[in-house]
């Protein structure tokens, strides 16, 4: 069975539990707070592969997005509003007038139920009531984490009893060297196009070719923090398709992470404003597999509408290989 233990108590007095899974040399820790992926360890590697904390207060504070599951809508919605089923809805403007990651009442700020757990698998569930954060529909989210041989799989399911928006993601920061930043990591992304953004980090609406730009990662490239600055969506497809590998990250030691997903986009963020307490910028990379950002405002982007009777299922796998 999974090891389940007390992790901490929230500022308002609620218990948060920690679930530890293990299989095939991989050990993963989850939290019921925000469905956080708190730790990923690979046998023979001395450091954690994700940026986490042993203090719940950090997740309630500065590390509010580290490792969490974002739902109902990851990334930004321009002007904090959208038309859904012919009616305009308004959300929390928490990022320069836009809504980022569903606002302060999103799934990342909630305590999830532990639905089931075995030695190598756990399912967390959460009910999001109609109107929470401004979003319509009584919604149900489930996140199923499972381990294989050196692979972590996440299946996210979303349902609603009214038409709504749904674009969930895991927001872990990855580091394969365990050092101060990701200098010397190599990144490759199977994307021919990317989404340029405004100064407020909102898509302009252009779907730009990566060829000839600083965003061309079709071949492996060594990373230097800030060159280029990364907080952009890479366009993998025009909608959900069968699970396929889309991204490779390799550390200076040769340790390798391969990401497979069903999703049409991956937002790569360089953590320049996401410091852990006592640490610096650029400590890891967020690799957020998701739908394209601000889709409700961009008719040319794949829709993130979720209708009654539908189940939105998203799958992402992280596969690790030692040198």
Q: 166-176, pLDDT tens digit by residue?
A: 999 999 999 99
> What six digits make up the tokens of 297?
């405002």
Q: What is the mean pLDDT of residues 9-18?
A: 98
Tell me the average pLDDT of the chain. Answer: 98
pLDDT band at 189 (very low <50, low <70, confident <90, very high): very high
Beta bridge partners of 164: 306
| Positions marked catalytic | 171, 288
Q: Is 107 helix (H, G, I), strand (E, B) or coil?
A: helix
pLDDT score at 217: 99
Torsion sign over Cα 169, 154, 63, 128 = positive
pLDDT (tens digit per residue) in 51-98: 999 999 999 999 999 999 999 999 999 999 999 999 999 999 999 999
Q: Are 190 and 218 within 8 A, CB to CB?
A: yes
| Whether pLDDT at 317 is above 90 | yes
Q: Give the phi and the psi of residue 248 in degrees, each rounded to 5.
A: -130, 130
Q: Are strands 231-235 and 244-250 parallel, antiparallel or unpaired?
A: unpaired
State the pLDDT confidence band at 278, using cuts at 50, 70 and 90: confident
Mean pLDDT of 14-36: 98
Q: What SS3 class is residue 69?
A: strand
Residue 128 structural domain: 3-321
Indicate whether 1 pLDDT > 90.
no
Please name every residue paired with 27 in a beta bridge, in sequence order, or none if there are none. 22, 41
Rounded to whole angstroms, the Cα distance separating 184 from 224 reads: 7
Question: 14: which strand partners?
Answer: none
Token reading at 318: 């992280």
What CATH number is attached to the domain comprising 246?
A: 2.70.98.10
Into how many domains does the chain fold?
Answer: 1
Model pLDDT for residues 86-143, shown as the tens digit of each residue: 999 999 999 999 999 999 999 999 999 999 999 999 999 999 999 999 999 999 999 9
Residue 59 main-chain phi, psi, to 5 deg: -70, -30
Q: Tell me the mean pLDDT in the region 226-246.
A: 98
Task: Give phi and psi for 66, each to the nearest 5.
Answer: -70, 115
Token pair, residue 204, equals 């302009």
pTM: 0.98
**275 pLDDT higher than 90:** no
Per-residue pLDDT averaged across 185-200, rounded? 99
Task: Give the whole-angstrom CA distance, residue 95 versus residue 78.
Answer: 9
The reported pLDDT for the residue numbered 28 is: 99
Both tokens of 316, joined, read 């992402």
């Amino acid at each position: 069975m999974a090891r389940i233990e007390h992790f901490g108590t929230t500022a308002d007095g609620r218990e948060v539990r920690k679930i530890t899974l293990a299989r095939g040399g991989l050990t993963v820790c989850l939290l019921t707070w925000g469905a956080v992926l708190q730790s990923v360890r690979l046998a023979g590697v001395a450091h954690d592969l994700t940026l986490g904390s042993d203090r719940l207060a950090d997740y309630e504070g500065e590390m509010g997005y580290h490792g969490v599951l974002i739902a109902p809508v990851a990334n930004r919605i321009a002007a904090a509003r959208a038309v859904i089923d012919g009616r305009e809805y308004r959300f929390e403007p928490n990022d320069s007038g836009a809504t980022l990651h569903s606002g302060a009442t999103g799934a990342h700020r909630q305590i999830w139920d532990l639905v089931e757990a075995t030695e190598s698998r756990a399912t967390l569930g959460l009910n999001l009531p109609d109107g929470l954060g401004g979003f319509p529909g009584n919604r149900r989210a489930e996140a199923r984490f499972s381990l294989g041989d050196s692979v972590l799989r996440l299946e996210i399911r979303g349902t609603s009893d009214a038409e709504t928006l749904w674009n969930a993601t895991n927001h872990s920061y990855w580091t394969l060297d365990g050092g101060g930043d990701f200098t010397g990591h190599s990144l490759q992304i199977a994307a021919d196009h990317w989404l340029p953004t405004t100064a407020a980090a909102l898509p302009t609406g252009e779907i730009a070719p990566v060829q000839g730009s600083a965003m061309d990662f079709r071949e492996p490239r060594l990373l230097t923090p800030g060159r280029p600055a990364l907080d952009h969506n890479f366009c993998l497809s025009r909608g959900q398709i069968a699970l396929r590998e889309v991204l490779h990250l390799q550390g200076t030691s040769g340790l390798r992470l391969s990401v497979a997903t069903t999703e049409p986009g991956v937002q790569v963020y360089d953590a320049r404003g996401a410091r852990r307490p006592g640490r610096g910028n650029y400590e890891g990379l967020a690799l957020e597999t998701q739908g394209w950002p601000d889709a409700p405002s961009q008719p040319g982007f794949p829709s993130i509408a979720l209708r009654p009777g539908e189940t939105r299922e998203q799958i992402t796998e992280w596969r690790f290989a030692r040198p």
